[in-house]
Amino acid sequence: MRILPVGSTAERSSSRHRNRTRLAVIAGAALAVAGIATTAFAATLSDPAPIQIQAGPAAQPPKGNVKTPGADHRDAPLVAAFEQVNQNTVWTKSGSIPQTWQPAGVDYEQEGFKYYNGRYYISVYDHTANDGHLVILDKAGTLIKDIAFVDGARTHAGGFEVYGDYAYVPLAVDSAHSSADILRINIKTYQVETLFTVGYDHVGGVIYDPVKKTLVGQSWDSRTFYEWTLKGKLVGTWQNPSDYVGYQDCQYVPYEKMLCSGASEGIQSHGGFDLIDLKDPDHAILNGYPTKIGGGNANEILATPTTDGVVLTQYDAGGSIDTYTTTIHDAD
């Protein structure tokens, strides 16, 4: 696999300049990926040897603050609040951040979105260069890091998860019934490694389950779900119980649930959200609803408890990062 770090927004004012910048910075990036400290490097327009990321020993589960649920555990506030949401829920647009980090003349398609510890993370498929990206922005939408990667025909980054110090990103062939790498990216050091390769299907999105310490991914149009250990051992598979929307981006919700969103029959302006129970053998949908806001490729819903209920914030990363909110009031 080649890891292709990309420069700042100012350096990437055109697709032609972007290609030259990529060649210039990759030599320094090789040192960073190898773990060698460096403060400067000579810019060059020669094409250096590709950085090879090998699947090393089994990755250790990242440390986090999700405890193993016991008899007295409570689900995250998002669960109870989302179960009260339906297609008649009123969402109010509460903010919009232009995606000025996108280079001019380059066809970026946002695939997954996460807001984590004050930063925005977006996975991207670049139709122009035919490679995948993980883009990291600060809260104002300013570019912090753009990591590009490609592994032969595997170029399509999909829906992903951020947990602890890591982002888990699938990099797949852009066709159904193909193959995918499951990447783990350290969001502090930006080191990328391939955990394993799925040779029997396209993987369009993946989440990390910190209770089981497994990864759950979905196929093209999310017709099939797979569950693997971090070594890549397949431990479960099931068919999608929903047929009105093809999931693109999912998020883990404590405890052992996942909230998935996607477009309805390929129509980006119409989609839906489903809350799926990972503990249930049938993987029942606890609640779901169609929506005309978000519901496309890159979405997330987060919950904020208040004195009289829970504020749900829906993020939609398309041409901009738009936020919509609704308040689910406590029952009388």
Q: Name the CA radius of gyration of the chain, rounded.
A: 20
- Measured on CA atoms in the order 286, 288, 293, 296, is the torsion positive or negative? positive
Residue 258 CA to its chain's centroid (Å): 13
Helix (H) / strand (E) containing 131: strand 131-137
Residue 273 CA to its chain's centroid (Å): 16
Whole-angstrom CA distances from 311 to 73, 79, 81, 266, 287 are 22, 12, 8, 29, 18
CA 296 to CA 261: how far, in whole Å? Answer: 7
DSSP state of 21: H
* pLDDT at residue 62 in the model: 39
Task: Name residues whose C-beta falls within 8 Å of residue 225's C-beta, 6 or more positions apart in sequence.
Answer: 216, 217, 218, 219, 236, 237, 238, 239, 240, 283
SS3 29: helix
DSSP characters over 154-209: EEEE-B-EEETTEEEEEEEESSSS--EEEEEEETTT--EEEEEEE-SS---EEEEE
> Which tokens belong to 243?
């047929």
> Which tokens belong to 6?
């990309």
Phi, psi of 175 (to 5 degrees): -165, 155
CA 155 to CA 158: how far, in whole Å? Answer: 10
CA 260 to CA 39: how far, in whole Å? Answer: 41
Q: Which fold has domain 74-329?
A: Neuraminidase (2.120.10)
* pLDDT at residue 293 in the model: 67
DSSP state of 151: B
* pLDDT at residue 280 in the model: 93
CA 41 to CA 202: how far, in whole Å? Answer: 38
Write the single-letter amino acid at 84. Answer: Q
Buried b (16+ CB within 10 A) or exposed e, 290-325: ebeebbbbbbbbbbeeeeebbbbbbbbbbeebbbbe
Rounded mean pLDDT for each run of 10 residues along the chain, 332 residues in total: 52 32 27 27 27 35 41 76 93 93 88 96 95 96 95 96 97 96 97 97 97 96 95 96 85 95 66 92 91 74 94 92 93 54
* pLDDT at residue 23 in the model: 22
Buried b (16+ CB within 10 A) or exposed e, 42-55: eeeeeeeeebebeb
226 neighbors 199 (Cβ within 8 angstroms) = no
